[in-house]
Amino acid sequence: ALIIDGNSMRAGAVADLRRIKSAISVARTVLEHTDITMLVGESATQFAIAMGFQEESLSSNKSIDEWQKWLKNKCQPNYWSNVVPNPKTSCGPYRNLHRNKYNDYKYKTYNHNSLNNKISTVNHDTIGMIVVDKRGSSAVGTSTNGLNHKIPGRVGDSPIIGSGAYVDQSAGGAAVATGDGDVMMRFVPCLRAVENLRNGMSPSDAASKALASIAQWEVRFSGAIVVVDTRSLSHGAACKGFSEFPYSVANGKGNVEIHTVKCT
First to last CA, the chain: 28
Helices (H), 131-253: 181-184, 189-198, 203-215
**Mean pLDDT, range 23-42, rounded to an integer:** 98
pTM comes to 0.90
Position 98 confidence tier, pLDDT thresholds 50, 70, 90: confident
Confidence of residue 97 (pLDDT cuts 50, 70, 90): confident
What residues act catalytically? 126
pLDDT of residue 190: 98
Average pLDDT over residues 89-115: 64
Q: Which of 169, 167, 178, 173 is nearest to 140 (CA)?
A: 167
Whether 125 has a pLDDT exceeding 70, the answer reads: yes
Q: Give the model's confidence band at 71: pLDDT under 50 very low, under 70 low, under 90 confident, else very high.
A: very high
